[in-house]
Amino acid sequence: MTEQTLESLLQNRLPSIDFSMESNDLKSFGQDWTRFHQPNATVVFFPNNTEEIQAIVQLANELDAVVVPSGGRTGYSGGAVATMGEWVISLVRLNQISDFNDIDQTVKVGAGVITEQLQHFAKEQGLFYPVDFASSGSSHIGGNIATNAGGIRVLRYGLTRDYILGLTVVTGRGDVIELNKGLVKNASGLDLRHLMIGSEGILGIITEAEIKLINQAPNQSVMLLALSSLEAVMAVFADARTTLNLSSFEFFSDRSLQKVMAHRNFSNPFEDIHPFYVLLEFDENEMAAMQVFERGMEAMHVTDGIIAQSLDQAEQLWQYREGISESIAHHTPYKNDISVKISQVPKFMNQLEEVLSIEYPDFETIWFGHIGDGNLHLNILKPQNMSTTVFKARCEQVNAHVYGLIQKFGGSISAEHGVGLLKKPFLGYTRSETEIQLIQQIKRVFDPNNIVNRGKVVD
Ligand SMILES: Cc1cc2nc3c(=O)[nH]c(=O)nc-3n(C[C@H](O)[C@H](O)[C@H](O)COP(=O)(O)OP(=O)(O)OC[C@H]3O[C@@H](n4cnc5c(N)ncnc54)[C@H](O)[C@@H]3O)c2cc1C
């Protein structure tokens, strides 16, 4: 079908729905934060509500067009990219927050509400939406639900899944379903809501969610500790976890710190260079924090430390951790978002370091992550003079070693970023053949014509 024919067909069949076939829109809505795929969308739709999305999906089924649900496009797995002429459905206009109920402590949000917008809304009601990460100023709630996003406070508050009480979804077949309807308790059979959470848009399009808010947290303190070794990380974690009421325990290497300092023009928070750092956020308790610091110094795990004395300083300390992804973005990083059980972290990291020194001797590697959840972000930076294609192929070769190790430890090749296109060839390192077949069969039930996110996660 030519561009003109499609344009007039869409005007004719979907007269009230805005769409664009402009090359700039096709490019920017055809990709996410990964830079390994060439965007190649045919059209981008900007529907206003569930009914319009249903109409697009029904027409796509009729014409065998593939649709890509598109949120804030901050994803790291290529889940929202359109590489083979797909129709992109942007959720950007479903951005209303409504129906706040202070007895239920719930609120309805359109899939296109930006994560930070919901955080602010909760605060205005005297409540708290704790899911947070460096991209929360751009990512959408719909995208967060589709990836079951985690972030910096999972340790205490859990993942996006823990806040979803209801969902409205347009399935790949074009049905509209309302799941769980805001109930706290509902033991009436399979909870399809949980199947949708983390489904990366392969079953349907989430259009609205009912979200649980919680009481505001007590005042928080932030402490940045410099550490002598990888072994020190978990030793300090074990102590901090029993002594403090922790909300976050984040880890980064000195190379990560150097990248942020260079990118944001920050000075070094410490006088000396140290190999590793951890950032702790916890309920205000300076005496307990000093105990963790002093015990760490005595054990020679901690080599220096700073406790923020003001909100501004706390924010500044957070920036050393939150600025890492942005500061390495221009290096086209190959991201490994991996997890093992928390107790396995030290042993796993030591073995991983050995693998990296053998397999990546000539590459710059940047470590950071939500170590309190057993989740590490291992970023391999592309050498300037290497093409993206060669670089990706090289990283994928090394994956056999890195992911083989993860498999040995019973870990996951994707802790929170999802599988999408980028990690699909490696799913078998984490999920059994039987599990993968079941996922394929479940997709067929919701999406018999393979219309939504075809080729993502599983075939
Ligand atoms: C700087 C930075 C830091 C980050 N830190 C974290 C972190 O700490 N923790 C974390 O979990 N992630 C993190 N991410 C990754 C990313 O922000 C999350 O995965 C986020 O949840 C993606 O939301 P999005 O709206 O941008 O989704 P998109 O990238 O637009 O889409 C992600 C996937 O969800 C699907 N999708 C989107 N909207 C819908 C919908 N309404 N219905 C069905 N499917 C849909 C897409 O098709 C795609 O498969 C980070 C990203 C960046 C750039």
Q: What is the CATH number of the domain that holds 302?
A: 3.30.70.2190
Please identify, by atom number, the ligand 1 atom nearest to the C-alpha of residue 325.
Answer: 1
Angle CA 216–220–221, to nearest 5: 175
pTM equals: 0.97
Pocket of ligand 1 (CB under 6 A): 32-33, 68-76, 79-80, 91, 111, 133-135, 139-140, 142-144, 146-147, 149-151, 200-201, 205-206, 325-326, 416-417, 420, 453
Q: Ligand 1 centroid vs 459 CA: distance in angstroms?
A: 21
pLDDT tens by residue, the chain, 459 residues: 888 899 999 999 999 999 999 999 999 999 999 989 999 999 999 999 999 999 999 999 999 999 999 999 999 999 999 999 999 999 999 999 999 999 999 999 999 999 999 999 999 999 999 999 999 999 999 999 999 999 999 999 999 999 999 999 999 999 999 999 999 999 999 999 999 999 999 999 999 999 999 999 999 999 999 999 988 999 999 999 999 999 999 999 999 999 999 999 999 999 999 999 999 999 999 999 999 999 999 999 999 999 999 999 999 999 999 999 999 999 999 999 999 999 898 899 889 989 888 888 888 999 999 999 999 999 999 999 999 999 999 999 889 899 999 999 999 999 999 999 999 999 999 999 999 999 999 999 999 999 999 999 999
Q: Ligand 1 centroid vs 72 CA: distance in angstroms?
A: 7
Coil vs helix vs strand at 304: strand
Nearest to 93, CA basis, from 57, 140, 54: 140
Alpha carbons within 13 angstroms on the beta-carbon side of residue 243 total 20
Residue 445 lies in a domain: no
Q: Which of 76, 145, 368 to mutate to test the pocket of ligand 1 (most atoms within 8 A of CB)?
A: 76
Domain match, 242 and 182 both: no
Q: Which residues contact 173 (CB under 8 A, 6 or more apart)?
A: 61, 446, 447, 448, 449
Domain match, 280 and 319 both: yes
Residue 453 lies in a domain: no
Q: Which residues pair with 364 in a beta bridge?
A: 381
Residue 146 lies in a domain: yes
Domain match, 322 and 337 both: no
DSSP state of 313: H
Taking residue 35's Cβ as centre, other Cβ atoms within 10 Å add up to 17
DSSP state of 113: -
Do 348 and 411 touch, CB atoms closer than 8 A?
Answer: yes
Ligand 1 atom 44 nearest Cα: 201
Domain match, 136 and 67 both: no
Ligand 1 atom 2 nearest Cα: 135
How far does CA 389 lie from the centroid of its chain?
24
* Domain around 24: 3-92
Please count the structural domains in the chain: 4
Residue 452 lies in a domain: no
Can you tell me the distance from the alpha carbon of 414 to that of 426, in angstroms, rounded to the nearest whole number? 10
- Which residue do the tokens 């959470």 mark? 197
Ligand 1 atom 9 nearest Cα: 151
Domain match, 273 and 288 both: yes
* Cβ burial, residue 326 (10 Å; 0-12/13-18/19+): middle
CATH number at residue 109: 3.30.465.10
Domain end residue (candidates: 326, 345, 375) = 326
Burial readout 181-203 (b: 16 or more C-beta within 10 A, e: otherwise): ebeeeeeeeeeebebbbbbbbbb
- Helix locations, 35-89, DSSP H: 50-63
